[in-house]
């Protein structure tokens, strides 16, 4: 099974469309569902989840051809695709919030400007392919073990919602929202430090 998977990745690097189609067929619907959950509901009429999925696959196949990415199996590949999808959703959120495209002008601003979203910055910053892959794997494993209510906090945070907005939207106390985000932040920062120390 491992050799078969590695053969598929090698074919993708070589530009084999049939191999690429296998990856698309395996993950397209799953990525679409992920995009639907991560896109702000106020943006859904403006952003098609299928466009997010197409963008993710286009970026992934391009990186496969130009970067020396190594995957241990389907689970690790999914982890990377999932983070790429969340990054794309975060980018769409920032784009539609910018200047005259700001869809959040349709409702009052419920949180102070100083309430910054560190998670969005962390998820969308520039990283080497190896670092991005390792952090994607960590992020995926952390999210799997979280309660659904806490995962919703992370999803909204990745869309650019502030702690105040999330608190009002979900009916959770701001301190509870902070605790969820800080717990995730600690795990990701620790993992990031370990990866960087190894790379040095």
Contact status, residue 26 vs residue 60, Cβ threshold 8 Å: no
- The chain-wide mean pLDDT, for the chain, equals 75
- The DSSP call for residue 70 is -
pLDDT digits (tens, 9 = 90+) for 89-118: 877 777 766 644 444 444 333 333 433 445
Average of per-residue pLDDT across 114-127 = 48
d(CA 37, CA 179): 22
pLDDT of residue 143: 75
Look at residue 16 and give its three-state secondary structure: coil
Angle ∠(27,32,92) on CA atoms, nearest 5: 125
Q: List all residues 6 or more positions away from 162 whose beta carbon is below 8 Å from its beta carbon.
A: 110, 111, 112, 115, 116, 117
pLDDT of residue 122: 54
d(CA 26, CA 57): 12
pLDDT digits (tens, 9 = 90+) for 2-60: 688 889 989 998 889 999 999 999 999 999 988 887 777 666 667 888 888 999 999 99
- What are the DSSP calls for 158-181, one per residue? HTT--HHHHHHHHT--HHHHHHHH
pLDDT of residue 198: 44
pLDDT digits (tens, 9 = 90+) for 155-183: 777 766 778 888 888 888 888 888 888 88
């Amino acid at each position: 099974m491992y050799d078969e998977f590695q053969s598929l990745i090698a074919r993708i690097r070589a530009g084999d469309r049939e191999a690429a189609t296998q990856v698309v067929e395996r993950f397209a619907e799953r990525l679409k569902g992920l995009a639907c959950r991560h896109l702000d509901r106020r943006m859904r009429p403006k952003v098609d989840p299928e466009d997010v999925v197409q963008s993710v696959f286009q970026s992934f196949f391009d990186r496969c051809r130009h970067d020396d990415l190594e995957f241990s199996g389907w689970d690790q590949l999914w982890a990377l695709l999932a983070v790429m999808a969340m990054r794309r959703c975060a980018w769409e959120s920032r784009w539609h919030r910018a200047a005259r495209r700001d869809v959040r002008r349709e409702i009052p601003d419920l949180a102070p400007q100083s309430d910054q979203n560190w998670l969005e910055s962390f998820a969308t910053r520039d990283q080497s392919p190896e670092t991005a892959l390792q952090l994607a794997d960590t992020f995926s494993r952390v999210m799997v073990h979280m309660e659904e209510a806490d995962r919703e906090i992370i999803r909204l945070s990745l869309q650019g919602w502030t702690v105040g907005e999330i608190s009002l939207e979900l009916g959770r106390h701001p301190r509870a929202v902070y605790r969820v985000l800080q717990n995730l932040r600690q795990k990701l920062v620790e993992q990031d430090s370990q990866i960087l120390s190894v790379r040095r």
